[in-house]
Chain A
Amino acid sequence: MKPGSAAIVGAAETTEMGRIPELSVLGLHADAALNALADAGLSPSDIDGVATAGESPTALAWYLGITPTWVDGTTVGGCSFMLHVRHAAAAIAEGLCKTVLITHGESGRSRVGAARRASQPSSLQGQFEMPYGPVGPPTLFTIPVLRYIKETGLSEEKLAQVAVVQRDWAARNPRASFRDPITVEDVLTSRMIAWPFRLLMCCLVTDGGGALILTSAERARDFPQAPVYVLGTGESVETPLVSQMEDFTSSKAFRVAGKRAFEESGIRHDDVDHLMIYDAFAHLPLYGLEDLGFVGRGEAGDFIWEGNTAEGGRLPLNTNGGGLSYMHSGMYGMYALQESVRQLRGTAPAQVPNAKISIAHGVGGMFGASGTIVLGNEAP
């Protein structure tokens, strides 16, 4: 992809956030889509490309009255929307469509119109993981972490600090679910979920949605919002089984996606003003900081402990409060992208002064997939 050939010209979340029992999954997609269309000054008939995950793109297009010439239903978990941005930028550059709508909606808490999530007993997970008693992501996503702790010497306190710093960011965000400050001690005395993970190291479960509209950089200048350019992108997948991760201390999908996104954009780590790393659990920012190359192996715990990712630090991270404190519907990647766009538009509740380049890095499944998007508010 040519850096900066596409731009985000519409971005919005659902009108409400947190508990939205009055909307189904499809309704959340539509609410976010209509908000993003209004943000871009467009109507559904202006859209000729659709991408979504967790809902069928057919249902989405029909529900909104869109007749697309390009469709992407890539569904690899919570980072699917990063992959949609990447695919949409390529499709726009190739002339397959001009204006793409990407949507997310999930009734994670209220479960209105939500599909049942279960592994078939004949699937790989059903045969080789489910018999051993995992109860959802808190008991699967977390399995590699004791190995990380043994190899790097990470302390429980430093793992807990990830949640503490993000709560500080959330305190500045009126839409965040949890805004009261917490301490390391609060985290380490919260209810045990799956040792070494306690409640405050695990993400929220809420309802919500978000949508993005992309078009070519050339057309982007004619929209009401200042364009946010797609400077570089990366994606990969590793395995549907967390037990089969090649290295329990590092995600191969993170490394592949991140490296490609940096190479495409031509930026250096020093150029990054703002960073979002999908945080379903407290260890994900640690893996993300290391696998994206911001710090060396085993250094992320100290990096966060020393305040580098907090307000006033040199790499503000998860400034909406993240999945740990802002919201987490199940497929959180869309909210990371939304916060990157807000920061680059200068409209974030906890605004990073003069942010020019932001990275949104996502995970799908249990370290199963990854997408990395480098965004900027200046045309390259």
Chain B
Amino acid sequence: MPDPNRTPNKTPRRSLPEPTPETRHFWAGAKAGELKLQRCDACKKAYFPPRPFCPACGSRDVSVFTASGRASLHSYVINHRPAPGFEGHYAIAVVELEEGPRMMTNIVECPQTPEALLLDMPLEVVFAEQDDEISLPLFRPLGTDSLQKNGDAS
């Protein structure tokens, strides 16, 4: 017997991040539609995930900056098992940002197949709103927007 008090067909949500003081700027940036990285003022190296010091040289003199949002597909798997908040087969990917650091993400606006997901393909960031606090940085093939517009026009 289904529980009458439960919302029917309520989609389970994907696991969401809980920002810490060291990462709050990243998630605030994502909420505002900007991909925030950090750069060491001493050795100039860009890094990710966020922390208040440089992992290359240990300096505490670091700055937050907005990344270009461009990346390339570094590696991935296509999960075939069920997962909360996901439907069908989906790629769990790692992208290499133009500035150097890599991050895990999902690839959207693209078939989730080995034929469509080619390593080193150019990508750009999009932000997927999850709730009032969290938007997740996801990536889509670069130029997806303009291609769609062209498609619409024809």
Contact = CB atoms under 8 A, between A and B. Distances in A.
Interface residues of B, number: 36
A340 to B, nearest CB: 31
A139 B77 contact: yes
B83 A135 contact: yes
Interface stretch (A145-153, A256-264, A307-315, A321-329): A145-153
Contacts of A293: none
B92 A131 contact: no
A133 B18 contact: no
A82 B31 CA distance: 44
Contacts, number: 108
B80 interface: yes
Interface range, A side: 35 or more
A128 interface: yes
Interface stretch (A163-171, A189-197, A226-234, A354-362): A189-197
A260 to B, nearest CB: 23
Nearest to B102: A243
A101 B88 CA distance: 47
Interface string B74-117: 11111111110110011011100000001111100000001000
Contacts of A379: none
B32 interface: no
A144 B78 CA distance: 12
Given A122-B20, A196-B77, A248-B75, 4 more contacts: A121-B17, A126-B17, A143-B75, A195-B114
26 contacts: A122-B17, A122-B20, A124-B49, A127-B19, A127-B49, A128-B17, A128-B104, A131-B14, A133-B90, A134-B83, A135-B82, A143-B93, A143-B94, A144-B75, A146-B75, A146-B76, A146-B77, A147-B74, A147-B119, A150-B119, A192-B80, A195-B77, A195-B78, A241-B49, A243-B102, A244-B102
